Chains A and B, each alone.
Chain A
Amino acid sequence: MRRPTVRQVVGGLLVACVIGFLALPILVTVVFSFNASPRLSFPIEGLTLDWYDRGLRDPMFRDALRNSVVAAVVTALVAALIGVPASFALRGLAPRIRPLVAGGLLLPAIVPALLLGIALTVFLEEVGLGLSLETAIIGHVLIALPFVVLSMVARLDSFDFSIVEAARSLGAGPARGFADVVLPLIRPSIVGAMLLSMALSLDEFVVTFFTRGGDDTLPVLIWGLLRRGIDPTINALATLILAGTVTLALIANRLTKVRL
């Protein structure tokens, strides 16, 4: 075993600090969700599942969970349905307009959610659409779309389209060439992009808050509890959402590579 160099020691310390800084709030949330005392300070006085029990029993939680799941699934379907073809299109568009279209589609990802939220609010008022879960889902799709396009474009960039030509020259029509050759190969990326969309939807708060009407999603429910004060039930619900979004994102990460 070689002795570590100065470079490795300094680098290792830095990496440990950054990872620790990123992990700290997550660990705190999970640890206090099991804390027997309702006070959110150390030392931990014992372990309990009461907060989970209380949170899960709450009928408001059930409604919010149902709304969140509906929003996540619909968001994933719509974002994939319009985002995947758009990613294919970027290859066929004229080189002059391609960066314009790509940039436009990615723009909602770097616009603050507050701006999206208030723009959608005035828009929905103007066209006379009442606020509801459906209008909140519009915002979720808008936020998920750039990530679907990013991950699909990354996949298609490394896709060997000569195999499609091979299939065509062997007599397969365009539809068959797509369904039998392209689709099976890119399916993991599509599933990955959809899981990523679900994770983004489950976690979305700001746009949802402005456009949801009376329909609470899990983050909106948590926001309501946060404003009321300290309550470990929040930690329990948060830990559950955390488990959901992290699982989705990790599977998505296995299936696709998001590159910026």
Chain B
Amino acid sequence: MYGPFAMNLTGSQRSVKRLALLQVAPAAVFWTAFFLIPLAILVRYSFFEAGFLTITPAFDLANYQEAVTNGLYREIIVRTIVIGLATATLVVVLAYAFSYVVTFVFPRRRELLFFLVMVALFSGYLVRIYAWRTILGEQGIVNSLLLSTGLVDEPLRFLIYSRVAVVITMTNILLPFAILPLYSAMQNVPREVIEAARSLGGSGLAVFRTVTFPMTMTGAKAAFAFAFVLTCGDYVTPTLVGGTNGIMIGNVIADQFGVSYNWPLGAALAITTMVAVLVVFAVVSRLMTVVAR
């Protein structure tokens, strides 16, 4: 730590830092050029003026005003957030229970079970949404099963082209994504702490409430954020299984960049929705912290 050694140390630390900057540079340039700048341009577009098939640079809050005050858009944004909350809650509860059971009840089978989840994760986004149309449709698998067993007299029509269909399908798509952080959170709970809590006389429930649950809260929040944000931003699922009742804000935004050709309004709707989603998530995250305490 003295004399030439100190010099040497700081010298090598500086070269480590220089190397690190060099190594991160390509990714940083790519990220700035194709992620940060595009998002910044999108924000700028949200202030532009849109005419009939024209877009004029301006600084105008009219698009935001339209996004917030137009009753239709407001209704669809609220509906999107409700569907997002329902999906994220369902996803986190299922993923949490699954990860818990795999980790603490069947630890010896965990490799196989996790492997099956990975298969589902990579088994095709569009295709799975489409498959749910076959499963939930009027002549679909669920309905023909219900009809043939005589449980219902006519097919359940709310199963397809509805909000229920969107929630079921999105839950299916996002469940593997949510299992990843929760599974890893469960694996990271030190067994010794659980043993210690047990040996001090804690019942199963008490150990869960005071040890496992608080220690896996960060994982649960990450999973919830994932599921909530991605559901609110989806438009393929509502397009294919949502019907008219299940239209979400993603459909409206995608339309502005397609047939309607009103990019400024689309940008303003996207940004308004993202802000609303972040605010709602902040509230949920706070609630989860309170519950875990």
Contacts and interface: CB of A to CB of B under 8 A. Distances in A.
A65 to B, nearest CB: 15
Given A11-B106, A119-B42, 8 more contacts: A7-B105, A26-B131, A41-B140, A41-B141, A86-B26, A107-B35, A108-B35, A205-B125
> Size band of the A side of the interface?
35 or more
- Majority SS at the chain A contact face: helix
B58 interface: no
A7, A32, A226, most chain B CB atoms within 10 A: A226
A89 B16 CA distance: 9
A219 interface: yes
Contacts of B242: none
B5 interface: no
Top 5 nearest A-B pairs (CB, nearest first) are: A112-B233, A92-B20, A25-B131, A123-B38, A249-B122
A248 B23 CA distance: 27
A162 interface: no
B233 A92 contact: no
A203 B253 contact: no
Interface stretch (B60-68, B193-201, B223-231): B223-231
5 contacts: A26-B119, A29-B128, A93-B17, A141-B30, A226-B240
B184 interface: yes
B234 A112 contact: yes
Contact of A113 (B139, B141, B233): B233
Interface string B214-236: 00000000100110011011111
A121 B264 CA distance: 12
A24 B135 contact: yes
B27 A246 contact: no
A200 B124 CA distance: 9
Nearest to A259: B184
B19 A105 contact: no
B134 A40 contact: yes
Interface in A1-51: 7-8, 11-12, 14-15, 18-19, 21-26, 28-29, 32, 39-42
A81 interface: yes
Interface string A102-146: 001101101111111111111100100000000000110110010
